[in-house]
Amino acid sequence: MLSVAVLISGRGSNLLSLLKSARSYQVSAVLSDREDAAGLTYAKQFDVPVYTFPRAQYQSRSAQKLAIYSALDQLNPGLVALAGFMQIVEAEYVHRMFGRIINIHPSLLPAFPGLDTHRRALGAKVSCHGCSVHFVDSGIDTGPIIAQARCGVTTSDSEEVLEARVLALEHALYPWVVESFARGDFTLTGRNIRWSNAAQAEATQRGFLLAAGERP
Ligand code: GRF
């Protein structure tokens, strides 16, 4: 069974979807840089060990980060899943763990990396928006894209409406990608991803787009 450590900083709705959908994987630990992250209650509900690293307990941000990464090293999960974790992961840790850290991002990458994706998507008057799951590299939302889910955007959409629409997609896509990782349905070679035929068929049925990793 694949053990997954989930890192959160806030609400934790993606953590909840990962907890609820676990079949071929197990959420074995939840780590947070914030003691008051609302999502920690979900970990407790599901009896998953919680580790918090509040900034105030460390002399510097880098000491705080170091504590998080050494805890992860000790836990040694098969996969680290970032779910609304609001810190940039240290390049050294990313290099060491490349291929075993993934993130969910609320846009169709490579469009709108970084923050405020829904506001920016509305500002750009896009007609299609969505979310992406990608491997984490040392850039901001630049790692190989694994899979995406799309939705339409209308001129009357507010930021809140669009966020809710995309969040519903995130809750379907993220557990499916983690499940697929656990079942070995895709492999990463260099920065290229290869999906099994069976997973490709399932993705089509669910309306997900499978990416091949490297970006154009
Ligand atoms: C989600 O939109 C996720 O894509 C982004 O941060 C948000 C976290 O939401 N990285 P939640 O904490 O999972 O509810």
Helices (H) and strands (E) in the chain, counts: 7, 10
83 lines ligand 1 (CB under 6 A): yes
* pLDDT at position 214 over 70: no
pLDDT at 216: 46
* pLDDT at position 211 over 50: yes
Amino acid at 36: D
Cα–Cα distance measured from residue 58 to residue 210, given in angstroms and rounded to the nearest whole number? 40
95, 105, 118, 171: the active-site residue: 105
Cα–Cα distance measured from residue 197 to residue 204, given in angstroms and rounded to the nearest whole number? 11
Tell me the CA–centroid distance for residue 83 and ligand 1, in Å.
6
Tell me what percent of the residues of the chain surpass a pLDDT of 70. Answer: 98
* pLDDT at position 215 over 60: no
Q: Which atom of ligand 1 has the smallest separation from the CA of 14?
A: 13
11 lines ligand 1 (CB under 6 A): yes
Q: Whose CA is nearest to atom 9 of ligand 1?
A: 84
Provide mean pLDDT across the span 182-187. 97
* pLDDT at position 51 over 80: yes
Q: Which atom of ligand 1 has the smallest separation from the CA of 15?
A: 13
> Ligand 1 pocket test: which of 13, 103, 131 has the largest number of ligand atoms within 8 Å of its C-beta?
13
Tell me the CA–centroid distance for residue 94 and ligand 1, in Å.
20
Q: Which two tokens stand for residue 146?
A: 């694994």
Tell me what percent of the residues of the chain surpass a pLDDT of 90. Answer: 95
3-state DSSP assignment of residue 178 = helix
pLDDT tens for each residue of 151-171: 999 999 999 999 999 999 999
pTM: 0.96
DSSP H helices in the chain: 13-21, 40-45, 61-75, 91-97, 117-123, 159-183, 197-206
Provide mean pLDDT across the span 119-136. 98
105 is catalytic: yes
pLDDT tens for each residue of 79-110: 999 999 999 888 999 999 999 999 999 999 99
Contact 25, 2 (CB under 8 A): yes
Contact 203, 209 (CB under 8 A): yes
